[in-house]
Structure 1
Amino acid sequence: MQHVTSATQSALQHDPDMERSMPVVVALNRAASTYSQLLDQMIMAQQQKKITSFFCPLSSSAPEVADPSTSGQTRPSSSASRVSTATPLDSDVDEELVELGSAS
């Protein structure tokens, strides 16, 4: 693309007849447009992505949470008591350890 830019600048600088040089410049730019678009796509692909692009947005509706006291049935969670099911809370782990300790 630098060579095309250089050629168009050279045509404009060294040819005093604008009616003759402008069709050359237009033809060079038209011929290189596919490669210019390809270069733009490659540059965009190399740019660093924002950290937020790796996260899914939270839905506005309340997710279903499994209630252990109802043996697998689900209930809608309240917005005040949303708990991530991805990792257990420390208190949940402590309760499970106490249950395991008392079972033995």
Structure 2
Amino acid sequence: MKRKPLYFNTTNLEGKELQESIRRTLTQDANILQFFRANPTAKLTKYEVLDNLLKANMIHNLTPETSIGRALNTLMRNGYIEKLKEYRVGKYGKRNHLWKLSDN
């Protein structure tokens, strides 16, 4: 990834703990982008992204869905991923936005 990823230090981490959290964030962003590049026609909810990454052993099994949402938003802000105006009923019976690889 060429653009700077966003890391939100909401728990005021410092030193090695902060650096490790930033590293994990970079890895999540890169893995999601890698997955979408390998599946360029995929249109997925954040829960489907999480499930696919877990099945491919690309993320830790304790990764929260909120981390996937953060990564998708970061990738969208950087122009890699698009949030569509399409929805799919998701895990909790609610409509979820679909995401896809950007055409840029």
Q: TM-score, normalised by structure 2?
A: 0.27
Ranked by relative contact order (alpha carbons within 8 Å, sequence separation 6 or more), the top structure is 2
Which has more strand, going by share of residues? Answer: 2
Which has more helix, going by share of residues? Answer: 1
